[in-house]
Structure 1
Protein backbone atom coordinates (compact mmCIF):
# COMPACT_ATOMS: atom_id res chain seq x y z
CA UNK A 1 0.00 0.00 0.00
CA UNK A 2 1.31 3.43 -0.94
CA UNK A 3 0.97 6.40 1.39
CA UNK A 4 -0.11 9.41 -0.67
CA UNK A 5 -0.81 11.84 2.18
CA UNK A 6 0.58 15.32 1.63
CA UNK A 7 2.05 15.30 5.15
CA UNK A 8 4.06 12.11 4.62
CA UNK A 9 7.88 12.20 4.86
CA UNK A 10 8.12 11.44 1.13
CA UNK A 11 5.93 14.43 0.30
CA UNK A 12 8.06 16.66 2.53
CA UNK A 13 11.24 15.50 0.78
CA UNK A 14 9.71 16.06 -2.65
CA UNK A 15 8.45 19.50 -1.63
CA UNK A 16 11.91 20.46 -0.34
CA UNK A 17 13.55 19.25 -3.56
CA UNK A 18 11.11 21.27 -5.66
CA UNK A 19 11.81 24.34 -3.52
CA UNK A 20 15.54 23.83 -4.04
CA UNK A 21 15.10 23.73 -7.82
CA UNK A 22 12.88 26.82 -7.71
CA UNK A 23 15.42 28.75 -5.63
CA UNK A 24 18.25 27.79 -7.99
CA UNK A 25 16.26 28.79 -11.08
CA UNK A 26 15.51 32.22 -9.62
CA UNK A 27 19.18 33.02 -9.01
CA UNK A 28 21.07 34.98 -11.62
CA UNK A 29 24.10 33.39 -13.28
CA UNK A 30 26.58 35.36 -11.14
CA UNK A 31 24.97 34.21 -7.89
CA UNK A 32 24.89 30.60 -9.14
CA UNK A 33 28.59 30.79 -10.04
CA UNK A 34 29.45 32.25 -6.62
CA UNK A 35 27.55 29.50 -4.82
CA UNK A 36 29.14 26.80 -6.98
CA UNK A 37 32.58 28.19 -6.19
CA UNK A 38 31.85 28.27 -2.47
CA UNK A 39 30.07 24.91 -2.10
CA UNK A 40 31.59 22.87 -4.94
CA UNK A 41 28.40 21.41 -6.42
CA UNK A 42 24.90 22.60 -7.21
CA UNK A 43 23.48 20.06 -4.76
CA UNK A 44 25.67 21.34 -1.92
CA UNK A 45 24.82 24.96 -2.73
CA UNK A 46 21.10 24.24 -2.80
CA UNK A 47 21.26 22.25 0.40
CA UNK A 48 22.97 25.19 2.09
CA UNK A 49 20.31 27.59 0.82
CA UNK A 50 17.44 25.40 1.96
CA UNK A 51 19.06 24.73 5.34
CA UNK A 52 19.52 28.45 5.85
CA UNK A 53 15.84 28.98 5.12
CA UNK A 54 14.74 26.14 7.41
CA UNK A 55 16.86 27.41 10.31
CA UNK A 56 15.96 31.08 9.86
CA UNK A 57 13.72 32.51 12.58
CA UNK A 58 10.07 32.75 11.59
CA UNK A 59 9.00 36.16 10.36
CA UNK A 60 5.93 37.70 11.93
Structure 2
Protein backbone atom coordinates (compact mmCIF):
# COMPACT_ATOMS: atom_id res chain seq x y z
CA UNK A 1 0.00 0.00 0.00
CA UNK A 2 1.33 3.41 -0.87
CA UNK A 3 1.33 6.28 1.60
CA UNK A 4 0.82 9.13 -0.86
CA UNK A 5 -1.04 10.02 -4.02
CA UNK A 6 0.50 11.02 -7.31
CA UNK A 7 -0.87 14.18 -8.93
CA UNK A 8 -3.37 12.29 -11.08
CA UNK A 9 -4.71 10.31 -8.13
CA UNK A 10 -4.94 13.42 -5.97
CA UNK A 11 -6.85 15.25 -8.69
CA UNK A 12 -9.24 12.30 -9.02
CA UNK A 13 -9.92 12.25 -5.26
CA UNK A 14 -10.50 16.02 -5.18
CA UNK A 15 -12.80 15.90 -8.22
CA UNK A 16 -14.78 13.01 -6.76
CA UNK A 17 -15.07 14.76 -3.39
CA UNK A 18 -16.37 17.91 -5.08
CA UNK A 19 -18.94 15.84 -6.98
CA UNK A 20 -20.07 14.13 -3.78
CA UNK A 21 -20.43 17.46 -1.96
CA UNK A 22 -22.60 18.68 -4.84
CA UNK A 23 -24.69 15.51 -4.66
CA UNK A 24 -24.97 15.86 -0.87
CA UNK A 25 -26.26 19.42 -1.23
CA UNK A 26 -28.96 18.23 -3.65
CA UNK A 27 -30.13 15.31 -1.49
CA UNK A 28 -33.49 15.68 0.20
CA UNK A 29 -33.28 16.24 3.96
CA UNK A 30 -34.65 12.74 4.58
CA UNK A 31 -31.79 11.09 2.66
CA UNK A 32 -29.20 13.32 4.33
CA UNK A 33 -30.67 12.34 7.69
CA UNK A 34 -30.48 8.63 6.82
CA UNK A 35 -26.82 8.98 5.83
CA UNK A 36 -26.05 10.94 8.98
CA UNK A 37 -27.75 8.27 11.06
CA UNK A 38 -25.69 5.57 9.40
CA UNK A 39 -22.29 7.33 9.35
CA UNK A 40 -22.54 9.70 12.33
CA UNK A 41 -21.27 12.90 10.69
CA UNK A 42 -21.51 14.65 7.36
CA UNK A 43 -17.76 14.20 6.91
CA UNK A 44 -18.02 10.45 7.44
CA UNK A 45 -20.99 10.22 5.08
CA UNK A 46 -19.12 12.17 2.38
CA UNK A 47 -16.02 10.02 2.89
CA UNK A 48 -18.14 6.91 2.40
CA UNK A 49 -19.70 8.37 -0.75
CA UNK A 50 -16.28 9.32 -2.13
CA UNK A 51 -14.79 5.91 -1.34
CA UNK A 52 -17.75 4.13 -2.90
CA UNK A 53 -17.51 6.29 -6.02
CA UNK A 54 -13.76 5.79 -6.39
CA UNK A 55 -14.02 2.02 -5.91
CA UNK A 56 -16.76 1.82 -8.52
CA UNK A 57 -14.59 3.49 -11.20
CA UNK A 58 -12.82 1.08 -13.56
Q: Which TM class, normalised by the smaller chain length?
A: 0.5 to 0.7
TM-score (norm 1): 0.65
Q: Which residue of structure 1 aligns with residue 32 of structure 2?
A: 32
- The structure number with the bigger radius of gyration is 1
Q: Tell which has more relative contact order, 1 or 2 (C-alpha 8 A, sep 6+).
A: 2
Distance 2:41 2:53 in 1: 19
Deviates more, 1:14-23 or 1:41-50: 14-23
More helix by share: 2
Cα 1:51–1:21 shift into 2, 3 Å: same
Structure 1 unpaired stretches of 5+ = 1-5
Cα RMSD of the aligned pairs, angstroms, is: 2.3
TM-score (norm 2): 0.67
After the TM superposition, list the runs of 4 or more consecutive aligned residues in structure 1 that deviate by more than 3 angstroms.
6-9, 11-14
Question: What are the residue-to-residue correspondences of 1:1-60 with 2, within 5 Å?
Answer: 7=8, 9=10, 11-58=11-58
> How many correspondences in the alignment?
52
